[in-house]
Amino acid sequence: MDNSADMTLLPYPPNCAKCAMPIDAADAILAAGKIYHVNHFQCILCASHINSGGHFYVRNEDAYCDECYTALYLRRCYACKKPLNNTAIVALGNKWHEDCFHCKTCSKPFEDKCFVLFDEAYCREHYWQARGNYAI
């Protein structure tokens, strides 16, 4: 039985993915599949340092701090423009926080359904009131 495996020899000391200079093991961080000097591992957008053990995101092999990634890539609520969590209401062709999807007139949440007039959501009472304001 052959238990051999392919090995890839890395240069020692390894070189930093940002500056290409050798890295001492005490000053190295492995993140996103690359090795960096600790002070060279930073957000691709704002250049803030991402500390060892700090939270970061990788997209297209680039590292982003939490704030920049959230601003660029997370889905946002149609009403308040803040990032959506895992639960969202999909209505009128948009995504909403549950607290943000409510009657345009009274701001009360919908009990079971909403009524739509000119791409705006209303409760039953205010739908008929709004509809009365327009010659339909």
Query: Per DSSP, which regions of 1-136 are E strands?
Result: 28-31, 34-37, 56-59, 62-65, 89-91, 94-96, 115-117, 120-122
Question: Does the fold of domain 89-132 match that of domain 25-73?
Answer: yes
Tally of CB atoms within 10 A around 41: 24
In this prediction, residue 4 has a pLDDT band, given cuts at 50, 70 and 90, of: very low
Fold of 89-132: Cysteine Rich Protein (2.10.110)
Say if residue 122's pLDDT is above 90.
yes
Say if residue 83's pLDDT is above 70.
yes
pLDDT at position 106, please? 93
Between CA 26 and CA 9 the distance in angstroms is: 20
Q: Which CATH class is domain 25-73?
A: mainly beta
In this prediction, residue 66 has a pLDDT band, given cuts at 50, 70 and 90, of: confident
Q: What is the distance of C-alpha 82 from the center of its chain?
A: 10
Residue with tokens 């948009």: 94
pLDDT at position 95, please? 92
Residues 6+ apart with CB under 8 A from 17: 34, 35, 36, 40
Average pLDDT, integer, range 40-57: 83
pLDDT at position 45, please? 92
pLDDT at position 103, please? 93
Residues 6+ apart with CB under 8 A from 57: 63, 64, 66, 69, 73
Residues 6+ apart with CB under 8 A from 53: none
Q: For 100-117, what is each residue's pLDDT tens digit?
A: 999 999 999 988 888 999
pLDDT at position 121, please? 93
Between CA 123 and CA 116 the distance in angstroms is: 9
The pTM assigned to this predicted structure is: 0.53
Of 51 and 41, more confident: 41
Domain boundaries, the chain: 25-73, 89-132
